[in-house]
Amino acid sequence: MGTTDKKLKTYLAHRAEFINYASAIVGDRAQGEDVVQEAYIRLNATPSDRQIDQPVGYFRRIIRNLAIDWCRRATTERQRLDSDADLTLVAGDHPSQEELISHQYELRIMIEAMAELPDRTRQVLHMHRVDGCTLKSIAEQFDISVTQAHSLVFDGLNHCRRRLAERS
């Protein structure tokens, strides 16, 4: 079996797992599928004479790197759009009373959901999403792996999303 055939076989056998992994990082299933497709293209671009000992792990690393790059680009674009929106903001533009109430309700649900989390998960999620700490710095502070820090953030976010979905 050729190297390209092995890459395709690995891709097809683990595609759903790869999409779930990428979607968890980027927060969007469609974008997760795009990331996995791009990862497959990159994997195929590796020289055919290069031996890959753990193709699934190698594929996951490519996916992770591409997903993180996508998140960085999306953040940069959002910041640019936000700064552009600030320029067009008019003094009379403000959220309606209904929007304010809705946001307050969602915030209350999020606070309750965060309170339900185990201490370490809550602290890690807060540090990552509110304080803007990197997973690496969180891992160092808690003496855990970056993968474990990512897992704690992922678990905390999933819990909060479920609670919001239950109340909506």
pLDDT at 30: 86
pTM score of the predicted model:
0.47
Asked if residue 8 belongs to a domain, the reply is yes
User: What is the per-residue pLDDT across 46-67, written as a single tens digit (0 to 9) for each?
Assistant: 777 777 778 888 888 988 888 8
Domain that includes residue 102, residue range? 96-167
- Cβ–Cβ under 8 Å, residues 142 and 149: yes
Asked if residue 156 belongs to a domain, the reply is yes
And the tokens for 121? 């998960």
Asked if residue 90 belongs to a domain, the reply is no
The total of structural domains in the chain comes to 2
- Cα distance between residue 74 and residue 149, in whole Å: 22
pLDDT at 90 over 60: no
Let me know whether 74 and 119 are in one domain.
Answer: no
Let me know whether 67 and 19 are in one domain.
Answer: yes
Closest among 128, 112, 123, 126 to 162, alpha carbons compared: 112
Q: Please, what is the end-to-end C-alpha distance for the chain in angstroms? A: 51
Domain boundary among 24, 56, 85: 85
- Cα distance between residue 162 and residue 51, in whole Å: 42
pLDDT at 94 over 60: yes
Asked if residue 30 belongs to a domain, the reply is yes
- Cβ–Cβ under 8 Å, residues 153 and 119: no
